[in-house]
Amino acid sequence: MEIGAAFCHNGAVAIGSHRREPLEFPPESAGREGPRGLVPLQFRRQPGGRSRRIGILENLTTGSLCERRGSAPFSRPAASGRRKGGVNDERIFMRYLVTGGAGFIGSNLVRRLEADGHDVTVIDDLSSGHFKNLVGFRGDFYPEELSRMDLISVFSGRPAFDAIFHQASITDTTVMDQRFMMERNVEGFRRVIDYALRHTLPVVYASSAGVYGANPSPQTETQTPAPMNVYGFSKAVLDNIAAQAAKGYSRTIVGLRYFNVFGPGEDFKGAAASMIYQLYRQMKAGKAPRIFKWGEQGRDFVYVGDVVEANLRALSSRRSGSFNVGSGSFTTFNTLVDTLRESLKLDVKTEYFDNPYDFYQEHTHADIQAAKEAFGYSPQTTVVEGIREYVRILESRGR
Ligand X SMILES: NC(=O)c1ccc[n+]([C@@H]2O[C@H](COP(=O)([O-])OP(=O)(O)OC[C@H]3O[C@@H](n4cnc5c(N)ncnc54)[C@H](O)[C@@H]3O)[C@@H](O)[C@H]2O)c1
118 binds ligand X (CB under 6 A): no
Cα gap 289→274, rounded to integer Å: 14
Active-site residue, 258 included: no
* Long-range contact set of residues 127-131: C-beta below 8 Å, sequence gap at least 24: 127/170, 128/103, 128/170, 128/171, 128/172, 128/268, 128/269, 128/272, 129/100, 129/101, 129/102, 129/103, 129/104, 129/268, 130/102, 130/268, 131/102
Cα gap 144→317, rounded to integer Å: 29
379 binds ligand X (CB under 6 A): no
Q: Which stretch binds ligand X (CB under 6 A): 254-262, 292-300, 342-350, 379-387?
A: 254-262
Q: Provide the minimum distance between the beta carbon of 266 and ligand X in the complex, in angstroms, as a whole number.
A: 6
Whole-angstrom CA distances from 124 to 102, 234, 271, 274, 367 are 6, 19, 20, 21, 31
125 binds ligand X (CB under 6 A): yes
300 binds ligand X (CB under 6 A): no
Q: Which stretch binds ligand X (CB under 6 A): 13-21, 76-84, 117-125, 285-293?
A: 117-125
Active-site residue, 195 included: no
x/- string (CB under 6 A) for ligand X, residues 209-248?
x---------------------------------------
Backbone angles phi, psi at 331, to 5 degrees: -125, 130
309 binds ligand X (CB under 6 A): no
Q: By rule CB under 6 A, what count of residues binds ligand X?
A: 30
Q: Which is nearer to ligand X, 11 or 386 (CB)?
A: 386
Looking at 173-222, which runs of residues are DSSP E strands? 203-208
163 binds ligand X (CB under 6 A): no
Rg (CA), the chain: 21
Q: Which stretch binds ligand X (CB under 6 A): 59-67, 71-79, 202-210, 221-229?
A: 202-210
129 binds ligand X (CB under 6 A): yes
184 binds ligand X (CB under 6 A): yes
| Selected binder of ligand X within 161, 195, 212, 258 (CB under 6 A) | 258
Q: Which stretch binds ligand X (CB under 6 A): 74-82, 140-148, 191-199, 312-320?
A: 140-148
Three-state SS for 272-334 is HCCHHHHHHHHHHCCCCCEEECCCCCEECEEEHHHHHHHHHHHCCCCCCEEEEECCCCCEEHH
Residue from 96, 195, 205, 231 carrying the catalytic annotation: 231
Cα gap 321→256, rounded to integer Å: 9
User: Which residues bind to ligand X, rule: CB under 6 A?
Assistant: 100, 102-106, 123-129, 145-147, 167-171, 184, 188, 206, 208-209, 258, 260-261, 269
